[in-house]
Amino acid sequence: MTETGEAEWYAVLRKILNAAHLWQPGDLAERVDEALADVGLSATVWLIDYEQAALHALPRPGRETPAPLPVDASLAGRAFARVATMPGDGPRWWVPMVDGTDRMGVVEYRARGPAAAGDETFVRRCEMVSGLIGHLINTTSDRGDHLDRVRRSRPMSTASELLWQLLPPLTASCERAVISAVLQPCYEVGGDGFDYALDDDSAYLVILDAVGKGVPAGVACAVALAAIRASRRAGGGLVEQARAADAALIEQFPEVRFVTGVLAELRLDTGRLRYVNAGHPRPLLLRSGRLVKEMDAARRLPLGLDDPDVEVAEEALEPEDRLLLYTDGVTEARTPEGDQFGRDRLVDLVERNAAAGLPAPETLRRLSHAVLDHQGGPPDDDATLLMVQWSSAAARSAVPEGAQPTEEDESP
Amino acid sequence: MTDQILTATTEKISESLAVVTAVGELDRGSTGILGGAVDATDAVRIVVDLSGVTFCDSAALNYLVQLHLRLTGQDGVLAVAGSQSFVLRTLRVTNLERLFPVHATVAQAVEALSS
């Protein structure tokens, strides 16, 4: 395969792209595999499930679907977690599949015939094809239910279905920052939500926690999120965005239904952070792996309760700083004995994951699983985490190796 | 959270002032019990004593906000007593203590509402 040239790989891309115009979601696995035959490879596409616990192979007609692979105990999972290609035996290659920096899963490439070793160029090309598949999964998914069904290990509640439709991808990055979020319990979300926007020199961040549970809480969160988004897209600042949420909630819920939240804007050129806290747990500022500040200012009433005394607070971030927003379902997660997860445990875990050099989305995945494990049962409340790291290096570590020089681990 | 039942009792202090005492866990399932005790009085100045409440979720907070708005609409007032509890921390985080007064004890709340 190493002698396979640019032209053959170009043909692979062309075949996949051409097929994508009319394929149905269920065709994707077959078409990708066919296209790769020209370069002597076969491919299996694996998608991450909503709970980010296991990778699931896209089913193929007439073939047995391989069993799901746990992220925490497989080479495929390692490729997903580290956003880095892992060579396996066979020979085969587990290649991360992202859409931008949003982790969709992995692509497993196998040699069809007696194969040459996968050199650097070969691996880069596999990553390029994975990148295309990642984009196409995103654009294809909404044509049918097939791809989304693969990602579900069980049915989703109405409120969850509503919220997931509303949320942006879990991870988004630009050259100067990476934003990542995680939300549990993913199949039964009540009223938590988040939003962000990376435009020009600003990263806007929103985390929300609507009062109550189920569909009414989901609707309240949806109303607040949509009002904030509409205001922001019309050029509104943080105070206006919060007021827009107040007005929309008051109009929609005359009997009062409030939503706590933090609205923030981080300047990507200067590191200046501005924020408003509407009755929400205080954002955490982490520097060099340590908590340097719980940001206690700019407190107003929860969204949905008109508060004339809104103010905006400011904070100066330094390069590489992390800002962590969370809902109380994280810190108040309790063991059956009543032991709370707490802020200190949260900070400690961020510190340890930071020290391990993990990409931001992997840090958040591990945090949310730690919260679930702590409870040892179905959660009482939604637990959402939203983190931004003002760091070019962090942004790049969320991109597959092809786009960066790295000292990634050797394959086990 | 709902295995412990909430009890709520109403005590009338004067013509327009009542103390409603809740004991137990106040959540989505049990907030109605507190509501029933509040509705049992026609007083418009109400002290809700939460010193015996060990847990309070957002549905309960939403009820307190609704009660506050209803009472102020009737020229009345809501005060919450019981600052030693888990509840105060929740009221602080959500900033709702800016909406209605929170007193350490029932006696202080009654005194504040009587003056």
pLDDT mean over B75-90: 85
Q: What is the pLDDT of residues B44-55, one digit of tens each?
A: 999 999 999 988
Compute the nearest-CA separation of B66 from chain A (Å): 6
The rounded distance, in Å, linking the Cα atoms of A12 and A8 is: 6
pLDDT number for residue B2: 44
A301 and B58 within 8 Å at the Cβ level: the answer is no
Identify the band that residue B89 occupies on the pLDDT scale cut at 50, 70 and 90.
Answer: confident
Closest CA to A222 of A253, A255, A178: A253
- Structural domains in chain B? 7-114 (3.30.750.24)
Is B33 touching A (CB cutoff 8 A)? Answer: no
Residue contact B96–A260, C-beta within 8 A: no
> Is B29 within 8 Å of chain A by CB?
no
Cα separation values, B94 from A150, A384, B3, B87, Å: 39, 17, 26, 11
If you measure CA to CA, which chain A residue comes closest to B54?
A338
Domain A158-396 has CATH 3.40.50.920: no
Which chain A residues touch B100 with a CB distance below 8 Å? Answer: none
* Residue B26 to chain A, least CA–CA distance (Å): 13
pLDDT tens-place string over residues A98-137? 999 999 999 999 998 766 557 888 999 999 999 999 999 9
At residue B82 the predicted structure's pLDDT band, cuts being 50, 70 and 90, is confident
CB count within 10 Å of CB B91 equals 24
Note whether A302 contacts B93, CB cutoff 8 Å. no
pLDDT, position A411:
41
Cβ contacts of residue B42 below 8 Å, gap of 6+? none
Phi and psi at residue A48, to the nearest 5°:
-80, 140
Q: Which of B58, B62, B98 lies at the smallest CB-CB distance from A301?
A: B98
Label residues A187-219 b or e (16+ Cβ within 10 Å = b). bbbbbbbbbbbbeeebbbbbbbbbbbbbbbbbb
Name the token pair of A352. Answer: 């340890």
Q: In chain A, which stretches have pLDDT less than 70?
A: 1-4, 114-117, 402-412
Nearest chain B Cα distance for residue A308, angstroms? 12
Task: Give B107 to chain A, closest Cα distance, Å.
Answer: 27
Q: What are the residue boundaries of the structural domains of chain A, listed by start? A: 6-150, 158-396
Backbone angles phi, psi at A19, to 5 degrees: -65, -30
Q: Please give the helix or strand (H or E) that residue A17 lies within, else none.
A: helix A6-20
Peptide bond between residue A61 and the one before it cis (omega within 30 degrees of 0): no
ipTM of the shown complex = 0.80
Sequence-distant (≥ 6) Cβ neighbours of residue A77 within 8 angstroms: A54, A55, A69, A70, A71
| Topology alike, domains A6-150 and A158-396 | no
Helix (H, G, I), strand (E, B) or coil at A282: coil
Q: Do B62 and A211 touch (CB under 8 A)?
A: yes
Residue B5: which pLDDT band, with cuts at 50, 70 and 90? confident
pLDDT of residue A19: 97
Element (H, E) at A20: helix A6-20
Structure confidence at residue A405 (pLDDT) = 47
Considering only CB atoms, which chain B residues are within 8 Å of A326?
none
Q: From the candidates B1, B54, B55, B58, which should be mutated to test the interface with A, based on the most A CB atoms within 10 A?
A: B58
Q: What is the pLDDT of residue A412?
A: 39
Reading the block at residue B57, the tokens are 């979720």
pLDDT score, position B4: 55
Tell me, which fold does domain A6-150 have in CATH?
A: Beta-Lactamase (3.30.450)
DSSP string, A362-382: HHHHHHHHHHHHHHTSS-SS-
Q: Which A residues in the span 265-284 are in contact with B, Cβ-Cβ below 8 Å?
A: 277-281
Question: pLDDT at position A84, please?
Answer: 95
Residue A97 near residue A74, CB atoms below 8 Å: no
Q: Which two tokens stand for residue A222?
A: 């949806």
Which of chain B's residues have a Cβ under 8 Å away from the Cβ of A380? 1
Instruction: Please tell me the predicted confidence (pLDDT) of residue A283.
Output: 97
Instruction: Answer yes or no: are the C-beta atoms of A99 and A137 closer than 8 Å.
Output: yes
The CA-to-CA distance between both ends of chain B, in Å, stands at: 38
> How far, in Å, CA of A203 to CA of A298, rounded?
19
What's the confidence (pLDDT) of residue A410? 41
Q: What is the pLDDT of residues A295-348, one digit of tens each?
A: 999 999 999 998 887 889 999 999 999 999 999 999 989 998 889 999 999 999
Among B65, B91, B94, B100, the residue to mutate for chain A (most A Cβ within 10 A): B94
